[in-house]
Amino acid sequence: MTPAYVHPTNDQVARQVAHEKAVLLWAEQASARQFTSPFNIFITRCQKSVFWRIFWAGITCLWRRTLGQWIYIKVTLPTYNPQAEVEAMRFVSQHTKTPVPRVWLHFQWLNVHYIFMSRIPGVPLVDVWSQLPLETKEAIVSQLAGYISQLRSIPPPPRPTIRSILGGSVQCFRLHDYDPSGPFRDEQHMNLQLRHLRPLDSFPDFVISSHTKTHPLVFTHNDLFPRNIMVDGCTVTGIMDWEAAGWFPAHWEYCKSKNWGDWRPEHALWSCWVSKFIPVFEEEARADKWLLNTLYSPSKHAI
């Protein structure tokens, strides 16, 4: 039986938000100190040497031929909230049959966070999508539809807070061009940030219509693009990169997958398939695209 998920309490959410802010401040200060330290200057000079490059190439080759066949190490900064990504993968694994990496170990060292996880077989979908025959694309999309349906069927938290699985902020570059965003009190709070804190009556009617709706919260990957989907032939072997995942309004997965990254040439080949595996919210997607093209990502946080 699937274990029941216990949603964080208000006190737990407050502690998580305070912790994330403290980590962000500490990371920025530590980075500034380390950048100018004698040790960092020494390492930088070593990295530019031919010997270092040959040595590192040898280590990389050795790793790929041994443990690297089964283990993948993701290296990230603490500001990307790696703890939330780890918990999101564990949460999805416990509550759905969606294929995600298994986390073996994660820790922070010298202001860098390391996540040791199982290596997913196959290749990134972005590398092969344009060459796949129609029937293979349809098989892949059908599997994705099933996995997305499972994610969206997980019971949401009782409060309308838009947040990560831990109750804190989410690293989403659509919501903010640099910093982690949230948690948001509700959908209107998130919409205010997407409008760059501008009043709703200053926008076109279709934006007003979209931003006055209220959608149920669903668990959302929030970065569902071919680069984060692993396939082996016509089989989806894994969905990667859960650092942006969390509880979002039901339309957000469609809007993000449809609009974000449309400046990339390969996005046009993918965008027309999004509606086949994510529930469609056309008016909301139109409003989001207009805001993205007109204002781009917010640079200020809604308070």
Asked if residue 30 is part of any domain, the answer here is: no
- pLDDT confidence of residue 41: 63
pLDDT at site 183:
96
- Res 2: pLDDT: 47
Residue 126 pLDDT greater than 60, yes or no:
yes
Structure tokens at 101: 């990496």
Q: What is the 3-state secondary structure (H, E, C) of 152-217?
A: HCCCCCCCCCEECCCCCCECCCCCCCCCCECCECCHHHHHHHHCCCCCHHHCCHHHHHHHCCCCCE
DSSP 241: -
Residue appearing with tokens 């982690």: 180
* Predicted pLDDT at 109: 87
Higher pLDDT, 73 or 49: 73
Across the range 190-203, mean pLDDT stands at: 97
Q: What is the mean pLDDT of the chain?
A: 87
Q: What is the pLDDT of residue 119?
A: 95
- Name the 3-class secondary structure at 230: strand
Yes or no: say if 239 and 224 are a contact pair by the CB < 8 Å rule: yes
16 falls within a domain: no
Question: pLDDT at position 23, please?
Answer: 58
pLDDT at 31 over 70: no
Predicted confidence band of residue 292 (pLDDT cuts 50, 70, 90): very high
SS3 242: coil
Domain of residue 265 covers 123-295
Q: List the Cα angle 301/251/5 in 5-degree steps.
A: 85
Higher pLDDT, 206 or 4: 206
Is residue 278 in some structural domain?
A: yes
Please indicate whether residue 13 or residue 282 has the higher confidence score (pLDDT).
Answer: 282
Mean pLDDT check: name the lowest of 16-30, 97-111, 206-220.
16-30
57-66, 123-132, 220-229: the lowest-pLDDT one: 57-66
Residue 189 lies in a domain: yes
Least confident range from 17-21, 74-78, 164-168: namely 17-21
Query: Do 250 and 187 touch, CB atoms closer than 8 A?
Result: no
User: Looking at residue 48, what is its pLDDT?
Assistant: 62
Q: Tens digit of pLDDT for each residue in 210-265?
A: 999 999 999 999 999 999 999 999 999 999 999 999 999 999 999 999 999 877 77
- What pLDDT score does 156 carry? 94
Arithmetic mean of pLDDT, 104-111: 90
Average pLDDT for residues 262-290, to the nearest whole number?
A: 93
Q: Is residue 185 part of a domain?
A: yes
Assess if residue 84 is contained within a domain. no
Number of structural domains in the chain = 1
Give 4-10 contacts, CB < 8 A, sequence gap 24+: 5/91, 5/94, 5/95, 5/154, 5/155, 7/157, 7/158, 7/159, 8/157, 8/166, 8/167
CATH assignment of the domain containing 172: 3.90.1200
Does any domain span residue 6?
A: no
Asked if the structure places residue 54 within a domain, the reply is no
> In this predicted model, which residue has the larger pLDDT, 303 or 7?
303
Of 64-78, 86-100, 159-173, 215-229, least confident by mean pLDDT is: 64-78
State the Cα torsion 70-87-296-24 to the nearest 10°: -100
Q: What is the pLDDT of residue 77?
A: 85
**What global pTM score does this model have?**
0.81
